Chains A and B, each alone.
Chain A
């Protein structure tokens, strides 16, 4: 699933490690998320959206 995670992260001037720390996930998870190799659980997706102060649909792009 495509997402804007990297764009949002860079917009806040955060490193992958800092974002991983803030979300309490491993850095490898952030890397996989940004590359679109891993789809997060709904809980993690909510936490990411809440962290950036936006909605899930603004972070993750659902391709039909």
Chain B
């Protein structure tokens, strides 16, 4: 099994395991608390848990899926193809800018609707994105 497939298998298994933990936490909360205080948290844990279980299982299955050696080699080439890497990076850059704009618009909408807590969360998310960009830029500057 090559390195990429091994990484997929490990990541998929870890996701599925974490999903099971979330589902267990959901089941525990549902059994324990009756007053509805933790309904939101329980619901989030349920969704996250089953989502991670499904996604993790699919990721692990991708690692175990057998393909012909020719197709395997083609996939390997496409993964390391320099033009494909550049295209992916350019697309990610555009996505990052779009995410920032979406968060800004959401902040405005939340504030207009009077949901100030949600607005503060989206502003915090924007600051996190800026921090990630600055850290990544500094790191790339040193490495390249």
Bound Cα distance from A32 to B82, whole angstroms: 12
Give the secondary structure class of A's interface.
loop
Of all chain A residues, the one with the shortest Cβ separation from B86 is A38
The size class of the interface chain A forms with chain B is: 10 to 19
A32 contacts which chain B residues (CB < 8 A)? 83
Whether B84 is near chain A, meaning CB under 8 Å from some CB there, is yes
Decide if A16 is an interface residue (CB 8 Å cutoff): no
B77 at the interface (CB under 8 A from A): yes
Q: A41–B77 contact, CB under 8 A?
A: no
- The residues of A that contact B72 with a CB separation of less than 8 Å are none
By a CB distance below 8 angstroms, the chain A residues around B78 are 26
- Whole-angstrom distance between the Cβ of A25 and the nearest chain B Cβ: 5
CB-contacts of B72-97 with A (<8 A): 77-78, 80-84
Q: In the assembled complex, which residues on chain A have CB atoms less than 8 Å from the CB atom of B84?
A: 26, 28-29
* CB closest residue in chain A, given B84: A26
Which residues of chain A have C-beta atoms less than 8 A from B77's C-beta? 20, 24-26
Chain A residue contacts of B81, Cβ below 8 A: 25-26, 28-29
Which A residues are closer than 8 A to B by beta carbons?
Answer: 20, 24-26, 28-29, 32, 38, 40-41, 44
- Interface of B with A (CB < 8 Å)? 77-78, 80-84
A-B contact pairs, 18 of them (CB 8 A): A20-B77, A24-B77, A25-B77, A25-B81, A25-B82, A26-B83, A26-B84, A28-B81, A28-B83, A28-B84, A29-B81, A29-B82, A29-B83, A29-B84, A32-B83, A40-B82, A41-B82, A44-B82
